[in-house]
Amino acid sequence: MAFPEFRARRLRDHVVFREMVAEASLSARHLVQPLFVKEDLKGRRPIETMPGQAQLGMEEMVAEAKRARDAGVRAVILFGIPREKDAVGTAATDPEGIVQQAVRRLKTDVPDLAVIVDVCLCEYTDHGHCGLLATVGGRKTVDNDATLEVLAEMAVTCAEAGADMVAPSDMMDGRVGAIRDALDAAGLVHVPILSYAAKYASSFYGPFREAAESPPQFGDRRGYQMDLRNGDEAVREAAADLEEGADILMVKPALGYGDIIRRLKEAFGVPVAAYNVSGEYAMVEAAARQGWISREAVILEILLCLRRAGADILITYWATEVALKLQSGAG
């Protein structure tokens, strides 16, 4: 009698059949490359906690975008680092701000590449929080409702500059609806919203805060980012964002949150993105430098597992590198 476990074993035994029946696949079309563009920077400034990554001046950003495009990556996501920061994130909404300028350059120099812009105030405020501040009961806190108008204005200026998609990562309640209304009112109905619907208050963001120069100057972000112990809340947050007009849902971080990716995919049947964040990247790079892991095999395993969990889109600092390997057949 042929038992089922023998059938699985037989199909695993031959490389051709193993490939034929593999459930998850990975290609360059699934990958998005993050880029950090810094105002007034010439060349590139390596990010110490993210080996291989750098803050980029405008010309270097264009070069990196072209490299990603040539590797087969179809989209980048931009994070702007302004020359000056203030309490209200003025540079975020400036039509001539760094990220708006970067969008225009990319749409001119690399027009076949889709450009996504991260919409949040943490990169633009001197206090490092994702929204405007208020004092309540004698303590500083983020003013959710006052922040919505600023986020909406930022989204509009980026879309008017040519951004193909906006991605609010601030986790303010109601921000997707505010951005959708503002885009529509500006005649930008065609611009989709990639919502960081389930963005957790995670310890894996540390290196990013060096990259974006955005560590909070007081407290932390647990008052508006999600509690890592909660899964049902992620489903509720995602449902609210879809109701407000989100087109794609994001889960961030990725590695410890495969269950959330799967739940959102099964609950809503819409495209789901996973952000393979800076701390996840840094751990692999650090372990690989010590010779403790097989770097390329681990990277591929991480991305394939996120695809298996249900992620349609993978935002990862390895996007260009992986796309090149897939292009050459080395993956």
Residue 260: pLDDT band (50, 70, 90) is very high
Structure tokens at 5: 């476990």
Cβ neighbors of 224 (< 8 A, separation 6 or more) are 130, 131, 142, 144, 170, 171, 172
Instruction: Give, as one character, the DSSP assignment of residue 311.
Output: -
Cβ neighbors of 307 (< 8 A, separation 6 or more) are 24, 25, 26, 30, 314
Residue whose token pair is 């950003």 = 61
| pLDDT at residue number 2 | 53
List pLDDT tens digits, range 91-143.
999 999 999 999 999 999 999 999 999 999 999 998 888 888 888 887 888 88
Average pLDDT score over the chain: 92
More confident residue, 213 or 153: 153
pLDDT at 185 over 60: yes
Portion of the chain with pLDDT greater than 90, in percent: 77
Report, as an integer, the average pLDDT of 223-245: 95
pLDDT at 224 over 90: no
pLDDT at 6 over 70: no
From CA 162, how far away is CA 188, in angstroms rounded? 10
Q: What element of type H or E holds 114?
A: strand 114-119
List pLDDT tens digits, range 21-78.
788 899 999 999 999 999 999 999 999 999 999 999 999 999 999 999 999 999 999 9
More confident residue, 249 or 11: 249
- Domain residue extents for the chain: 26-328
| Burial tier of 141 (Cβ tally within 10 Å: 0-12, 13-18, 19+) | middle
| pLDDT at residue number 299 | 98
| pLDDT at residue number 211 | 80
pLDDT at 1 over 60: no
Residue 3: pLDDT band (50, 70, 90) is low
Angle between helical axes of 258-268 and 295-309 (0-180°, round to 10)? 30
More confident residue, 298 or 2: 298
For domain 26-328, give the fold.
TIM Barrel (3.20.20)
| pLDDT at residue number 310 | 97
Residue 11: pLDDT band (50, 70, 90) is confident
| pLDDT at residue number 281 | 97
| Residues annotated catalytic, as ranges | 199, 252
Residue 330: pLDDT band (50, 70, 90) is low
